[in-house]
Amino acid sequence: MSNSADKFLTAAERLQIEARIAEAEKRTSGEIVVMVVPSSYHYPLASMLGSSFLAILLGIAVALLFGQDSMWFFLSVFGISFMVLHEVIKRVNIIKRVFVTASDMKWEVEEAAIQSFYHRKINHTLDHTGILIYISLFERKVRVVADQGISAKVAKEVLQDIVNTIVHGIGGKEHGNAIAEAVDRCGEILARHFPVKPTNQNELGNEVIIGRGR
């Protein structure tokens, strides 16, 4: 998973998004941050459950194939299978996802996005007008976190529209364009409620953050 976030956007797409952030922030005192992570959590329980379940099935299948009814034979096959499968599931997302519930993924993305918002000090802008576009690849989820100054004036449905724009674009393999469009939308919202000030300064960097989850 470590390289998935690096490969999600090309260098040209990152530059495109960063240019759109800079352009959007010319019209507002707000700040826009885009962050892409390979996963919001490593889900160790999924690896344990998956490897245990598959190792039991494999142990039974091998015992039946060789006509063995010894518990020690089964446990030997199970033990070896468990260790191998555990390492495989840790590294193969398509298998791991089978053993992670949708509710767990939603909760982990929510928590990781909020943690990233505070860890990156997006809440430290002068007028509390920072907004984080958080994309977590393993879970295939997007979260938009807005500081209290924005939340007081912008409905949740409006922020959800930004999420939908990105999700739809990613589904169509238009990662960079979708995120750039979402940045434009954030800029429009911020400019309407928090127009640029004569003393405006760039409080947060415009670079796309390629991070890692918890």
Which amino acid is it at 57? L
Cα–Cα distance, 166 to 182 (Å, whole number): 7
54-80 pLDDT, tens digit each: 999 999 999 999 888 899 999 999 999
Domains and CATH numbers, the chain: 4-41+102-210 (3.10.310.50), 44-99 (no CATH)
For range 26-30, the mean pLDDT: 90
pLDDT bucket at 21, cuts 50 / 70 / 90? very high
pLDDT at 201: 78
Q: Is 143 left (phi over 0), alpha (psi -120 to 50) or beta?
A: beta
Q: Is the pLDDT of residue 98 over 80?
A: yes
How confident is the prediction for the chain on average, in pLDDT? Answer: 91
Q: Is the pLDDT of residue 214 over 60?
A: no
Smallest CA-to-CA distance from 202 within 1, 15, 30, 5 is with 30
Cα–Cα distance, 85 to 54 (Å, whole number): 8
Sheet holding 141-146, edge to edge: 141-146, 130-136, 31-37, 209-210
Determine how many CB atoms are found less than 10 A away from the CB of residue 145.
Answer: 23
Q: Is the pLDDT of residue 15 over 90?
A: yes
pLDDT at 1: 43
CB 214 within 8 A of CB 112: yes
CB 205 within 8 A of CB 130: no
Cα–Cα distance, 62 to 128 (Å, whole number): 61
161-198 pLDDT, tens digit each: 999 999 999 988 899 999 999 999 999 999 999 898 87
pLDDT bucket at 50, cuts 50 / 70 / 90? very high
Query: pTM of this prediction?
Result: 0.89
Collect contacts of 82-91 with beta carbons under 8 A, ≥24 apart. Answer: 82/51, 82/52, 82/55, 83/51, 85/50, 85/51, 85/54, 85/55, 85/58, 86/47, 86/48, 86/51, 88/51, 89/46, 89/47, 89/50, 89/51, 90/42, 90/47, 91/1
